[in-house]
């Protein structure tokens, strides 16, 4: 018989390190309008934010709480944005790491649910995992789809024509025609700067991020192990991702196992910042715009990339960057993280997006800029639903406008 609560037991130190003080749900300062986006748009009971979830995790470990369908919903109602960890701020004095890894705890609870009570997990998630198994794409589309975005471009296959730079487009952009321009523009910008990226096209694997986030830890681990081998085989020196989720997975999650990823991993904003800094791109003023930059949780809180996107925006003539009060490590999640776009038909994610958009509306900004396709899609939906005048762009769009 398989061990019960296996994943949760592995994070028990983190669970018991939590003093359940509640700062993770109630801190308010000038820079932190609220901590938990889920608590903001739900009736606000304790189980909707980190403290309550950790109390429940402890109850599960101690046999005081029984798994249930309601509990599964609670466990999946979390964007894994990590703002609770930032605002908790307690550091393990031995390791220098956050004392309470709430993201790890929620992922572990999800993992145990998938292992022990998959019938209570939202069918959308199970569908995603099954699609990944079949197509290596959580969007459930055949492999051939993944190269469609590059149809009119001259981008070599990385295994056939190795390049120092591999463009890792990510399943979300490669599977959604509305997002294809993001990848196309990225290639055009890179080529203009003298960077000749290769791609993997239909062979580009799913990075395994979303699978890990929704609790399929074993499946994600296997995917990552296989991917490391493939990515190392390309011989590239640098992997450039367009998706913050892919970047975080490749950089952080891939370093957890015995097999190591050889190439350096950069999100495209990091490369763009370098190209602009060293004059490889010559941006010209096309339009003047006041913009707000939204730090994607994966890129900001999880990877610490805060300056590069701002350096990029500040280098574009005519673009005026305005900072919201909740910015950088205090950024408010767009609502799409942790698989929330799939949960409850995406309604909760959209509501969270609307709340996050409100803070932009309070500034003089005309547009919200992000660097993650999930943020972009969710903000687009939120903006449309609330008739917001705020336009939503990816940072690639602005750079492309400025250099072409």
Partner 1 sequence: MTMCDEKNNIRNALADIVSHEYVATDQTAVFAYSRDASLFGGTDAAVVVRPGSTEEVSSIMKFAYRHDIPVVVRGGGSSIYGQPRGTPGANVLLDMTRMNRVLDIDKQAMTVSAQAGIMMGKLQQACNRAGLYIFVPAAPVHTVSLGGWLSGAAGGGGIWRETISITVVLPDGTVVTTGGGPGTNIRQRHYFSRNIGGPDFAGMFIGDGGSFGVKTEAAVRLLGLPTVTRACILEFTDLEKVLELVRRHGERINPHPFDPLLVFGPGTMELFSSGSNGEEKFTVMGLMQGHTEREMDAKKEIFNDIAESLGGTHTPELDAMTDIMAGGGEGEEKMEMFGLSFFNGLGLAAWLPFNIPRVSLPEIYPKLIAWREKRLEEAARRGFECCARFEFFTPSDQCSLSGEIDAFFKDMDSPELREFVRNMIVDYQKYTHELGLQDVYNQGIMSSLNAACWSPGFKSLYTTVKNSLDPRGILNPGLWIETRDDKKEQ
Sole binder of partner 1 in the list 59, 123, 127, 317 (CB under 8 A): 59
- Residues 365-384 binding partner 1 (CB under 8 A) are none
**Residues of span 129-148 touching partner 1 by CB under 8 A:** none
Q: Which is nearer to partner 1, 76 or 293 (CB)?
A: 76
Q: How many CB atoms lie within 10 A of CB 285?
A: 11
Footprint of partner 1 on 9-48 (CB under 8 A) = 12-13, 15-17, 19-23, 26-30, 43-47
Give Cα separations from 305 to 37, 269, 374, 395 (angstroms).
Answer: 21, 9, 17, 14
Burial class of 68 by CB neighbour count within 10 A (0 to 12, 13 to 18, 19+): exposed
Site for partner 1 (CB under 8 A): which residue of 3, 4, 64, 142? 64
Q: CA separation (Å) from 123 to 38, 67, 290, 342?
A: 21, 17, 42, 10
Minimal distance, residue 304 CB to partner 1, in Å: 18
Nearer to partner 1, 43 or 194 (CB): 43
Cβ neighbours for 77, distance < 8 A, ≥ 6 positions apart: 38, 42, 48, 340, 343, 348
Q: Dihedrals φ, ψ of 321, to 5°?
A: -85, 125
* Contact status: 104 vs partner 1 (CB under 8 A): no
> Contact at 8 Å (CB) between 171 and 138?
yes
Site for partner 1 in 68-97 (CB under 8 A): 68, 70-71, 74, 88-93
Angle between helix axes 373-385 and 347-361 (nearest 10 degrees) is: 80
Selected from 36, 80, 81, 99, the binder of partner 1 by CB under 8 A is 99
Calculate helix-pair angle for 373-385, 244-251, nearest 10 degrees: 150
The residue (of 45 and 404) whose beta carbon lies closer to partner 1 is 45
Q: How far is the CB of 167 from partner 1 (least distance, A)?
A: 40
Residue ranges in contact with partner 1 by CB under 8 A: 12-13, 15-17, 19-23, 26-30, 43-47, 51-53, 55-56, 58-59, 64-66, 68, 70-71, 74, 88-93, 99
């Amino acid at each position: 018989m398989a061990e019960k609560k296996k994943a949760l037991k592995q994070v028990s130190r983190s669970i018991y390190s939590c003093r359940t003080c509640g700062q993770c749900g109630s801190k308010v300062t000038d820079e932190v309008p609220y901590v938990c986006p889920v608590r903001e748009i739900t009736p606000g009971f304790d189980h909707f934010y980190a403290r309550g979830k950790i109390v429940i995790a402890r109850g599960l470990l101690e046999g005081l709480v029984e798994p249930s369908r309601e509990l599964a919903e609670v466990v999946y109602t979390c964007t894994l944005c990590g703002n609770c960890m930032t605002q908790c701020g307690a550091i393990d004095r031995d390791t220098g790491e956050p004392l309470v890894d709430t993201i790890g705890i929620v992922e572990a609870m999800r993992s145990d649910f998938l292992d022990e009570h998959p019938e209570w997990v939202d069918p959308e998630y199970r569908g995603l995992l099954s699609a990944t198994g079949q197509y290596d794409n959580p969007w459930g589309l055949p492999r051939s789809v993944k190269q469609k975005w590059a149809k009119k471009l001259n981008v070599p296959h990385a295994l056939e024509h190795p390049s120092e730079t591999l463009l890792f487009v990510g399943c979300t952009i490669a599977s959604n025609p509305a997002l294809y321009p993001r990848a196309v523009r990225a290639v055009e910008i890179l080529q203009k700067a003298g960077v000749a990226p290769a791609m993997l096209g239909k062979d580009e694997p799913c990075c395994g991020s979303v699978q890990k986030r929704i609790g399929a830890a074993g499946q994600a681990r296997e995917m990552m192990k296989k991917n490391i081998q493939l990515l190392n085989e390309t011989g590239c020196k640098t992997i450039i991702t367009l998706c913050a989720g892919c970047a975080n997975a490749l950089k952080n999650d891939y370093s957890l196992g015995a097999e190591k990823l050889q190439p350096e991993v950069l999100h495209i904003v990091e490369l763009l910042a370098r190209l602009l800094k060293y004059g490889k791109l010559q941006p010209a003023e096309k339009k003047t715009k006041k913009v707000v930059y939204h730090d994607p949780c994966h890129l900001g809180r999880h990877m610490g990339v805060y300056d590069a996107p701002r350096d990029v925006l500040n280098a574009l003539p005519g673009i005026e960057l305005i900072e919201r009060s909740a910015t950088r490590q205090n950024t408010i999640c767009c609502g799409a993280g942790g698989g929330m776009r799939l949960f409850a038909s995406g309604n909760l994610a959209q509501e969270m997006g609307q709340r996050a958009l409100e803070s932009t509306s309070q500034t003089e900004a005309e547009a919200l800029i992000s660097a993650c396709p999930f943020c972009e899609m969710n903000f687009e939906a939120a903006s449309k639903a609330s008739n917001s005048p705020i336009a939503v762009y990816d940072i690639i769009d602005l750079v492309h406008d400025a250099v072409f």
